[in-house]
Amino acid sequence: MSAPPKAPRIPVTCSKHGVTWCDPFAWLKQRENPSVLEHLKAENAYTASIMAPHRLLQKEIYQELVGRMAEDDVSVPVPFGPFAYATREVAGCQYPVLFRMPRDGGAEEVLLDVNKLAEAHDYFDLGFCLVSPSHQLMAYAVDTLGEETYDIYFRDLANDCLLPDVITGVAANMVWGADSQSVYYVCLDQVHRPFRLMRHELGGQKDAMIAEELDRAFVLSVGKTEDDAFITMCRESQTTSHISCFPAETINPIPFDVQPRCEGVEYGVSHWHGHWLIMTNESAPNFKLELLIGDSRETWLGHRSQVLLEDYLVFKDHVVTLERVHGVTQVWVTDEARQRRQVTLPGAVYDVDFEENPEWNAPAVRLSYSSPICPDRVLSVDLVTLEIQILKEREVRGGFDASRYLCHRDWAISSDGTKVPLTIIERPDRVQSTTIMHGYGAYGISLEARFSSARLSLLDRGVRIVLAHVRGGSEMGRAWYDAGKLAQKHHSFEDFIACAEALKAKGLADRLVVHGGSAGGLLVGAALNLRPELFQGVIALVPFVDVLNTMLDPDLPLTEMEYEEWGNPNDPDVFHRIRSYAPYEQLQPHAFPTMWVTAGISDPRVGYWEPAKWVARIRELQTNDKPILLKTELGAGHYGATGRYDALHEIAEEYTFALIALHLLDSSPR
């Protein structure tokens, strides 16, 4: 086994609020320093050397992943105006082909072959593709570095040519004006914050600024109401919303506020029959729906303490709501007379969300549905009869049989007595006491119980998959989120540890690997510091582990926007609180489990230096010789590879590591 790289120690002394500490690897943040790239390449070479003996297993898993995929596939066409729009996947191609056909049938028209756009680039992300209201033009956004900074191009569909207009260095967020000649897009400031709304007229010489948001705790985005009557400009922080609108046909827009900004009040708006329907948490932590008629408000759907109103969608004569009850999302349809009916969905544990629904006068709502043992489906639900039609179920090849697998809900008891839900997925005839437990627990983002065909390569080898729904997400309502942020952040870590202990106590995880990405990497990093002996392996993807130093640097992307999630360490109490759990600062000598850690050199969300510093420090402190592996994508950002085959290679490598950590190298799928 080759020796791991040893990062030079170049101590930097830091001081804040009377506390002085040393950061020996701060130099890794110096992106332009040639020694940094040299070190990252050395780490990649070491990781490759450790994984080299297992290349056959990795190749086997990759072939399984590809073998389950319908390589030639077509999405469900989405009716929009005179056309139906869809995407096609072609065997051997990394990216989709976008096309359309006349709504009532006819020849296909290719709009964009993403493979041709991407062929000259190692990294390629299509941020959006939007057809104009006239259906004559198309705008699309491209990022070729992974920095989440996009260039917008315009295509004349009638003449099959690019227009000379190009908008560079902006956010992946744009809408068309009603005239199909103007577009509204969002600029980024020096810390990568979406902050300014601009109007561009095709063929015009100078773009006009519509509005900007100077408070660095807020980001600005642009959208449209479901009836296409108004363009919406939303400025929002982690806790506060401020929405302004203007008619979509306006040439010189003057935005007006639907309601004024009020600290701590979040809301979204829809235009409905000349009035405004508002989803708000004002005096309603789990949100409610109100109808704004002139200056008066009517309650459309009241607040409920045990039900989280997650989202809603307005149609001409109906409102469809997504409502989370005891961790599971329900779908309800309400008509103009406010008669509510629930859509009956199969299974006790599943994930459901809105699909593309571009037409507000459509007779049905489209939903995406899956469960851990049910492949992705596109459903059409009639808004009057609630009849469900399965428009498509994603094909899973390779002999997939859903009856072989089980999914059920269990509970762990956290240190303060709180019951924490667990979603457990397994193949009973193969399962051993080997488990991978996933966690996230931040930003109110729930860990959804979705299907994954890739996951079958683990389940078929006897690995149990567990989703730990710790506080910090919204699985059990908004209070679940509030109980895992700011001063309550410790609950996320305590819940995660309680879940691990519960699995071990029940004989379900004699060998346990934990998995978390981004803020989920913070979760597993903090849990690792608290209870390293619980885990046989750690998978931390682009982990947010250098929390204290990042939150002390306002010049980094996201920092000031995230004070409401983690706190502002310029406050002494907050500083000490973050420092008490920050994975990098709290590292102590331990017999660490083997670890798989990733980074992206262009990542604007979690700087590559965070995982690089963390790994270097762990290696200094570990009291055993378990491999601590770091792999940095030198041509990608936060989300890794963008091509579908490249992404499968990454998954195969990660799964191979998991099997190494679980001592299942000799297992074979059946």
Angle at which helices 644-661 and 55-68 cross, to 10°: 130
Mean pLDDT, rounded, of the chain: 97
Q: 602-661: per-residue pLDDT in tens?
A: 999 999 999 999 999 999 999 999 999 999 999 999 999 999 999 999 999 999 999 999
pLDDT tops 80 at residue 1? no
Smallest CA-to-CA distance from 232 within 201, 202, 280, 268 is with 268
Average pLDDT estimate for 472-478: 97
Q: Would you state the pLDDT for residue 668?
A: 80
Q: Would you state the pLDDT for residue 22?
A: 94
C-alpha dist (Å) from residue 573 to 66, 145, 484, 559: 51, 38, 17, 18
Q: 307-326: per-residue pLDDT in tens?
A: 999 999 999 999 999 999 99
Strand extents, DSSP E, 28-146: 73-74, 78-80, 83-89, 97-102, 109-113, 125-131, 137-143
Question: Which residue among 39, 271, 491, 638 is the active-site one?
Answer: 638
Q: 138-150: per-residue pLDDT in tens?
A: 999 999 999 999 9
Q: Would you state the pLDDT for residue 472?
A: 98
Establish whether 638 is a catalytic residue: yes
The total number of residues written for the chain in this structure: 670
For 54, residues 6+ apart whose C-beta sits below 8 A from its C-beta are 656, 660, 665
Domains of the chain and CATH, by start: 12-66+433-438+505-661 (3.40.50.1820), 121-265 (2.130.10.120), 276-396 (2.130.10.120)
Q: 86-137: per-residue pLDDT in tens?
A: 999 999 999 999 999 999 989 999 999 999 999 999 999 999 999 999 999 9
Residue 151, helix vs strand vs coil: strand
Q: Would you state the pLDDT for residue 547?
A: 97
Question: Which residue among 125, 414, 603, 667 is the active-site one?
Answer: 603
Establish whether 518 is a catalytic residue: yes
Q: Would you state the pLDDT for residue 105?
A: 87
pLDDT tops 80 at residue 76? yes
pLDDT tops 90 at residue 295? no
pLDDT tops 70 at residue 552? yes
Question: Which residue among 244, 370, 414, 518 is the active-site one?
Answer: 518
Establish whether 368 is a catalytic residue: no
